[in-house]
Structure 1
Amino acid sequence: MRDLLLFVIVVGLVPIILMRPWIGILAWFWSGLMTPHLLTWGFMKTFPIAVFFGGATLAGLVMTKDRRAMPLTREMIMMWVLVAYTAMTSYFAVYHGAWGFWQHLMKILVITFITPMLVYGQRRIILLLLVITLSIAFYGFKGGLFAISTGGSHMVLGPEGSYLSGNTYIGIAMIMVLPLVLASARMFYYRWEDFGSDLIRRFSNKIGLLFYGVFWLTAVAILVTYSRGALLGFLAIAPFLFIRMRRKWLMIVLAVVGVTVIGVTVPDRLMAKWGTIETFEEDTSAMQRVQAWGVSWNMAMERPIRGMGFRFTYMDYDWWITYANFEGSWEHVLSPHSIYFSLLGQHGFGGLAVFMTLVGFTFLTLNRIRRKAVRETGQRWLSEYGWAIQVGLIGYLVAGTFLDVAYFSLLYAFVALAIIMRRELEEAPRAIEETEAEEHWVPKPEQKPRPAKGPRFPDFVPKPEDLLNQPRPWLKKQ
């Protein structure tokens, strides 16, 4: 039944995407992040959903006039530099199959490049934000309920066979969207935006409360992944989330009552995992990472500009261990186990610099959106989501210290959102400046009166009946 339902959804969306390719962006991120086909058991489990959505979106992009020019922001330029740099390192790669992964990266970056061309305007941006948030929050909701029902005795994992499989991968994904869930809850609960729907207006507060519930369940799910990287990432973003919340004293009181009166305690397994951070020399998993980091560092020292290229871990163990500072007694897992050391080993110091510059530019853009949106344009939703993505990026950088997720599609979704949201900020009218200008503006005899201000095309198109209902002062009796 799930297979048939998903098949109908995919087939039904393709013609819609051809006519309105911006919907294809939403569908691609939904299929790529949530991986709904892996929740089925039949023929749809291996169905290339992302290929269908991506192909339809590219075809629609060619045919439609509802698109904008690719913005040449500093983030966009750095992504093009990343494309060129990784192409160079793939050419000099030690493993002959490096080009295969380069092509995989290009599929992610192509969508990242065209997303700002198709997604613009408040409605589309908010819909994209909600799709990305809910695609991962689904697993936070599900994992939180599972953790509570089992008392934390079992580990929360991602869907088997996906990029989210395993506890650490699903943990870092939930960390990145946790602030977005909070921002969505606040947007609906306090009704910062009018979605043009009476149904949403009526149930806006209840939708906000539902998002708050998903927020707390996702927080529980992150902890019960029992991932060392996820724990550190959660601790990194927790202060920012706490500062943003209201009723802080109520939460503190509830926490004290829960521990002292009810007797709520942290699961022993979580405490044991946390203890290994201090005694990492005794933990095999931690020492494997230390060994792998040394390998990547020594590779970068040998080839600081070219690196070893993609998939150097596919080389045989005898070659790989020659770069290690020590050899352990464990089974050999050839993985960099880190964003930063992965980039060092694959692309040298030059590749790491390109990647960190891209992330740094994105962070600065989000910070600008967070600080200026409310003050200059009154767009609280824009400021709130700018803050949320910024905090999620902090969680990614901290948790990624222990996981090789440099080519995580969610990261590049954040880059695209930063570009789109900055453009929205720059193009939005400045309420104070425009009000003052209108008050002091006096038309010259040869000038026509200024038309009334209204929403920008193409977010809203006035209906004929709306135009007929506009006030017509010239019909008033003298």
Structure 2
Amino acid sequence: NTFIGDNNQLAVALLMTIPLMNYLRLHAAHRAVRTGLLASMVLTLFAVVATYSRGGLIALTAMGARLWWNSRNRLTSFLLFGIVMATAISFMPADWKARMFTILHFHHSNSANERMTVWRDAFGIALHNPLTGGGFQATAMPGVIHRYFPMAHQRATHSVWFEILGDQGFPALFVWIALNLNGLFMARRVARRARGNPALAWLVDFGRMTEVSIIAFMVGGSFLSLGYYDYFYMLLILISSALVLLRAELPRVAAEAAPAAARGWRARGAVAQ
């Protein structure tokens, strides 16, 4: 009875954690720790596949693509990711492969059709109450959803976007979208502004990996009721704190680099003379 009690929600939570493991692996001082984190990433990837979550597989594909793009050696990362995925899939039974294959024919899936129906209901509730929505868990509360759609079946919204829209209305949805986009922009800003400073290399990797975690949440959460998942908000707090720390550290790093640069110029001038 937690946010991640469902297999699909567990898959997204695990996916959000893999990039953070990779960040720690990149900056761990001891080889044993780095090896342990790498093994944990592989095992967590196996666990994601084993949840039987189709949304998790889609989020894994999106996250893997961004993780590959952010990697320093893209060819090695692509080969490693492909080998791990092929190995994980090879362990899965035939019913897993049949379930994942339904992604290509989602319009024939009862689960997909039910999701689109509840998304329509959530949108309808927001149209009736554009400023405030229907309240928390609007589509899952019979007293709420039957007020607008008497023949509808109450169930979870299964989408962070429609969950926020149906529960809280259009203004809250716009704020929610802004939170997601701002998280991505802050992550990129941290990585970009810290680039080129060896003392701030950890911030570069932290920004890149946090961005991947947010992407995993956004893609996976598009099919799940995780609009109030505290893990996501903690990520936003962490990347905001990293940006504040970066702004405080940049003047100090620049001040320390200035004397070294001056000494280098004087040394090159002496050699030239």
Question: With structure 2 as the length reference, what TM-score do the two structures score?
Answer: 0.84
Distance 2:244 2:92 in 1: 44
Q: Secondary structure at the match of 1:420?
A: helix
**Within the alignment, does 1:315 sit opposite 2:139 as a pair?**
no
**Within the alignment, does 1:358 sit opposite 2:179 as a pair?**
yes
> Retained in 2: the 8 A contact 1:339–1:404?
yes
Distance 1:357 1:232 in 2: 23
**Within the alignment, does 1:232 sit opposite 2:58 as a pair?**
yes
**Within the alignment, does 1:214 sit opposite 2:40 as a pair?**
yes
User: What corresponds to 1:408 in structure 2?
Assistant: 229
Distance 1:370 1:258 in 2: 28
Instruction: Report how far residue 252 of structure 1 moved.
Output: 2.9
Deviation string, structure 1 residues 374-413 (Cα, Å, up to 9, x no partner): 3246311111111111101001000111101011010110
Distance 2:85 2:204 in 1: 34
> Retained in 2: the 8 A contact 1:174–1:222?
yes
Letter in 1 for 2:9: Y
**Within the alignment, does 1:380 sit opposite 2:201 as a pair?**
yes
Give every structure 1 segment of 4 or more consecutive aligned residues whose post-TM-superposition deviation is greater than 6 Å.
Answer: 256-260
Distance 2:255 2:248 in 1: 14
The correspondence of residues 122-137 of structure 1 with structure 2, limited to 5 A, is none
**Within the alignment, does 1:173 sit opposite 2:13 as a pair?**
yes
Instruction: Report how far residue 265 of structure 1 moved.
Output: 6.2
Distance 1:323 1:183, change over 3 A: farther
Distance 1:348 1:390 in 2: 27
Instruction: Report how far residue 167 of structure 1 moved.
Output: 0.4
The correspondence of residues 193-212 of structure 1 with structure 2, limited to 5 A, is 204-212=30-38
Distance 1:379 1:268, change over 3 A: same
RMSD: 3.0
> Retained in 1: the 8 A contact 2:137–2:163?
no
Distance 1:256 1:230, change over 3 A: closer
Instruction: Report how far residue 268 of structure 1 moved.
Output: 2.1
Instruction: Report how far residue 162 of structure 1 moved.
Output: 2.5
Deviation string, structure 1 residues 130-162 (Cα, Å, up to 9, x no partner): xxxxxxxxxxxxxxxxxxxxxxxxxxxxxxx33
User: What corresponds to 1:471 in structure 2?
Assistant: none
Distance 1:230 1:390, change over 3 A: same
Instruction: Report how far residue 253 of structure 1 moved.
Output: 8.1
Distance 2:236 2:106 in 1: 34
User: Which of the numbers 168, 179, 197 marks the counterpart of 1:347?
Assistant: 168
Distance 1:270 1:370, change over 3 A: farther
Distance 1:211 1:279, change over 3 A: same
Letter in 1 for 2:218: L
Letter in 2 for 1:412: Y
> Retained in 2: the 8 A contact 1:295–1:323?
no
Distance 1:421 1:172 in 2: 23
Distance 1:238 1:257 in 2: 12
User: What corresponds to 1:252 in structure 2?
Assistant: 79
In structure 2, stretches of 5+ residues that fail to align are 263-273
Deviation string, structure 1 residues 219-238 (Cα, Å, up to 9, x no partner): 11111111121111101011
> Retained in 2: the 8 A contact 1:295–1:320?
no
Q: Larger relative CO (CA 8 A, sep 6+): 1 or 2?
A: 2
Distance 1:314 1:438 in 2: 65
**Within the alignment, does 1:275 sit opposite 2:101 as a pair?**
yes
> Retained in 2: the 8 A contact 1:185–1:211?
yes
Distance 1:364 1:254 in 2: 26
Q: Percent identity?
A: 24
User: Which of the numbers 424, 430, 433 marks the counterpart of 2:245?
Assistant: 424
In structure 1, stretches of 5+ residues that fail to align are 1-160, 192-203, 441-478
Distance 2:236 2:85 in 1: 40
User: What corresponds to 1:436 in structure 2?
Assistant: 258
Instruction: Report how far residue 281 of structure 1 moved.
Output: 2.8
Letter in 2 for 1:373: A
Distance 2:80 2:135 in 1: 53
The correspondence of residues 444-463 of structure 1 with structure 2, limited to 5 A, is none
Question: With structure 1 as the length reference, what TM-score do the two structures score?
Answer: 0.49
Distance 1:381 1:364 in 2: 18
Distance 1:222 1:320, change over 3 A: farther
> Retained in 2: the 8 A contact 1:298–1:323?
no
Distance 1:351 1:254, change over 3 A: closer
Q: Secondary structure at the match of 1:375?
A: coil
Instruction: Report how far residue 342 of structure 1 moved.
Output: 0.6
Higher helix share: 2
User: What corresponds to 1:391 in structure 2?
Assistant: 212
Deviation string, structure 1 residues 329-379 (Cα, Å, up to 9, x no partner): xxx442111100011111111110011112221211111111122324631
Instruction: Report how far residue 246 of structure 1 moved.
Output: 4.4
Distance 1:250 1:318 in 2: 47
Distance 1:304 1:383 in 2: 40
Letter in 2 for 1:187: H
Distance 1:370 1:253 in 2: 24
User: What corresponds to 1:29 in structure 2?
Assistant: none
Distance 1:269 1:371, change over 3 A: farther
> Retained in 1: the 8 A contact 2:137–2:156?
no
